[in-house]
Amino acid sequence: MKGYSVHLLFHILATVVGVACGTAAALWLFDHMAVALWILLGALLLGILVLAAQALYIRGNPGERSRPRQARTGSAVRTGTRPDLPADIGQEPGTARSEPRNHR
């Protein structure tokens, strides 16, 4: 949770830029304002820059998840794998799974 504040900042910036881009697009489409097209393009460019900055930040700070985990010590460490179970486990002694059952 170290970089959560930066993560939240990028989300807020992306939201603000998205709202500005959507508002400018609506003004340009419905009110035919020429200035809104330039605001739209500027907000879109700013949104791309925010995403690029976030990608560079993530690449520069890999975080806790990418660190290799250390093995636990004590009784929680498994020493080997579980042996294979026999094929007739759970069956009555003397019966095999391949024998058909007579149901009447």
Q: How far, in Å, CA of 76 to CA of 70, rounded?
A: 13
Q: How far, in Å, CA of 73 to CA of 101, rounded?
A: 49
pTM for the model? 0.52
Which pLDDT tens digit goes with each residue over 21-56?
A: 999 999 989 998 889 989 999 999 998 998 898 888
Q: How far, in Å, CA of 88 to CA of 98, rounded?
A: 10
Residue 19 banded pLDDT, cuts 50, 70, 90: very high
CA distances from 69 to 60, 63, 65, 72, 74 (A): 20, 13, 9, 9, 16
